[in-house]
Structure 1
Amino acid sequence: MAGKDRVLLIKQLLLNEKKVSVPDLSKKFSVTEETIRRDLDKLEDEGFLTRTYGGAVLNVEEVVSNVPFYKRAEHNLEQKQSIAITAQEILKTAHTIFADASSTVMETLKLFKHREDLTIVTNSSEALKELLVSDVNVLSTGGTLNKRTLSLQGDLTEYAISVYNVDVAVISCKGIDFDTGVTDTNEVECRIKRQMIEQANEVILLIDHSKFNKKAFVHLSDIKNITHVITDSKPSEEWLNYFRENHIQVHF
Structure 2
Amino acid sequence: MSNLLERHQQIIELIKKEGSVKVTDLCALLNVSSVTIRKDLQFLEDKKLLYRTHGGATLTNPYIADRHVEEKVTLQAAEKQKIGAYAAKLIEPNDCILIASGTTVQYFAKNIVAKENLTVVTSALNVALELIHHQGVEVIQLGGLMRKTSASVTGTYAEAILTDFSCSKLFLGVDGIDLNYGLTTSSMSEALLNRKMIETSQKTIILVDSSKFGKRGFGKICNIDDIEQIITDSNVSEHTIKTLESMGVEVTIV
Is TM more than 0.5 here?
A: yes
Superposed counterparts of 1:209-224, under 5 Å: 209-224=210-225
The amino acid of 1:87's aligned partner reads A
Match of residue 147 from structure 2: 146
Aligned residue pairs total 192
Q: What are the ranges of 5 or more consecutive residues in structure 2 without an aligned counterpart?
A: 1-60
Kindly provide the amino acid, as one letter, of the partner of residue 173 in structure 1: V
Higher relative contact order (CA 8 A, sep 6+): 2
**Contact 1:229–1:249 at 8 Å: present in 2 too?**
yes
Taking only the aligned residue pairs, the percentage that are identical comes to 26
| TM-score using structure 2 length | 0.70
Secondary structure in 2 matching 1:220? strand
Instruction: Please give the TM-score of this superposition, normalised by the length of structure 1.
Output: 0.71
Match for 1:61: what amino acid? I
Q: Distance in 1 between matches of 2:213 and 2:163?
A: 29
Instruction: Please tell me whether the aligned partners of residues 98 and 197 of structure 2 are also in contact (alpha carbons under 8 angstroms).
Output: yes
- Could you tell me which residue of structure 1 aligns to residue 112 of structure 2? 112
Structure-2 separation of matches of 1:59 and 1:179: 12
Contact 1:112 / 1:136 at 8 angstroms: preserved in 2?
Answer: no
Change over 3 Å in CA distance of 1:195–1:227 after alignment to 2: same
Partners of 2:179 and 2:131 lie apart in 1 by: 36
State how 1:230-249 maps to structure 2 within 5 Å.
230-233=231-234, 235-249=236-250
More helix by share: 1
Question: Residue 226 of structure 2 aligns with which residue?
Answer: 225
Q: Tell me the equivalent position of 2:205.
A: 204
> Counterpart in 1 of 2:126?
126
| Worse-superposed segment, 80-89 or 235-244 | 235-244
Opposite residue 87 of structure 2, the aligned amino acid is A
- Output the aligned Cα RMSD: 2.0
Task: Provide the secondary structure at the position in 1 that maps to 2:206.
Answer: strand
3-state SS of paired residue (1:214):
coil
Preserved contact between residue 113 and residue 131 of structure 1 (Cα < 8 Å): no
Q: Which segments of 5 or more consecutive residues in structure 1 lack a partner in the other structure?
A: 1-57
What is the distance in 2 between the residues matched to 1:114 and 1:98? 14
Counterpart-to-counterpart distance in 2, 1:136 and 1:158: 22
One-letter identity of the residue aligned with 2:217? A
Matches within 5 A, 1:19-34: none
SS of 2:72's equivalent? Answer: helix
